[in-house]
Amino acid sequence: MSFEEILRAIIREELAPLEEELERALGTGCDELLTPAQAAELAKVAPATLRKWARTGALTNRGSPRASRYRRSEVLNVKVADRMVGRPRHV
């Protein structure tokens, strides 16, 4: 097995649970608006990370500055994208 094949296998393994979660969400209430606390819990990130994603344009605030709301499907998409290019995870 080449290095590239090993790397692809690792990436597939890491992304499989996220892909399953995204598919479940798309089937049930994918456009539900979440509070920052709910969105952070769903994405398993700190609220500051959500604000960073919104500031950089990766995530759209669907509420007001004082009452932020994020679409469930968008949070999951950003989570998957961030995981693909994010920091290495220690096992």
Helix 72-85 vs helix 47-55: angle between axes, to the nearest 10 degrees? 90
**pLDDT band at residue 88 using 50, 70 and 90 as cut-offs:** very low
DSSP character at residue 34: E
The larger pLDDT score, comparing residue 63 to residue 81, is at 63
Q: How far is it, in rounded angstroms, from Cα 82 to Cα 5?
A: 22
Task: Calculate mean pLDDT across residues 76-87.
Answer: 72
* Partners of 67 in beta bridges: 64
The whole-number pLDDT of residue 17 equals: 78
Distance between start and end Cα atoms, the chain? 22
State pLDDT tens for residues 35-74: 999 999 988 899 999 889 989 888 998 888 888 999 988 8
Residue 2: is its pLDDT beyond 60? yes
Q: How far is it, in rounded angstroms, from Cα 87 to Cα 72?
A: 23
CATH architecture of 3-85: Orthogonal Bundle (1.10)
